Amino acid sequence: MTVEELAPPVSAPDRAAPGALAHRAALSQLRDATGILGLDEGMYRLLATPRRSLTVSVPLRRENGRVEVYSGYRVQHNLTRGPGKGGVRFHPDSDIDEVTALAMWMTWKCALLGLPYGGAKGGIAIDPRGLTLSEKERLTRRYTQEILPFIGPDKDIPAPDVNTDESTMAWMMDTYSVNAGYSVHGATTGKPLTVGGSNGRAGATSRGVVLAALDAMRHSHLDPTGRTIAVQGFGKVGAGAARFFADEGCRVVAVSDISGGCYRAAGLDIPELEAWVAGGESLASYPNADAITNRELLGLDVDVLVPAAMDGVLTADNAGDVRARMIVEGANGPTSPEADAILQSNGVTVVPDILANAGGVVVSYLEWVQNLQAFSWTSAEVDRKLCVFMQNASRSVWALAGEKSLTLRRAAHVIGVGQVAEAHEARGLFP
CB contact burial 69-89 (16+ within 10 A = b; e otherwise)? ebebbbbbbbbbbbbbbbbbb
Indicate which residue of 85, 109, 121, 236 is catalytic.
121
Assign 326 to helix, strand or coil.
Answer: strand
CATH of 50-182, one of 3.40.640.10, 3.40.50.10860, 1.10.10.10, 3.10.290.10: 3.40.50.10860
Residue 360 main-chain phi, psi, to 5 deg = -65, -45
The CATH number of 204-356, from 3.40.50.720, 3.20.20.70, 3.30.1490.20, 3.30.70.1090, is 3.40.50.720
φ, ψ of residue 231 to 5 degrees: the values are -120, 115
| pLDDT value, residue 17 | 79
Evaluate if residue 151 carries a pLDDT over 90. Answer: yes
What confidence score (pLDDT) does residue 318 get? 94
CB count within 10 Å of CB 167 equals 15
Share the mean pLDDT of the chain: 94
pLDDT tens digits, 348-401: 999 999 999 999 999 999 999 999 999 999 999 999 999 999 999 999 999 999
121 as an active site residue: the answer is yes
Let me know: does 112 contact 419? Beta carbons within 8 Å.
Answer: yes
Whole-angstrom CA distances from 261 to 195, 257, 309 are: 36, 6, 13
Mean pLDDT of 298-322: 94
Where do you find CATH 3.40.50.10860 in the chain? 50-182
Residues of the chain with CATH 3.40.50.720: 204-356
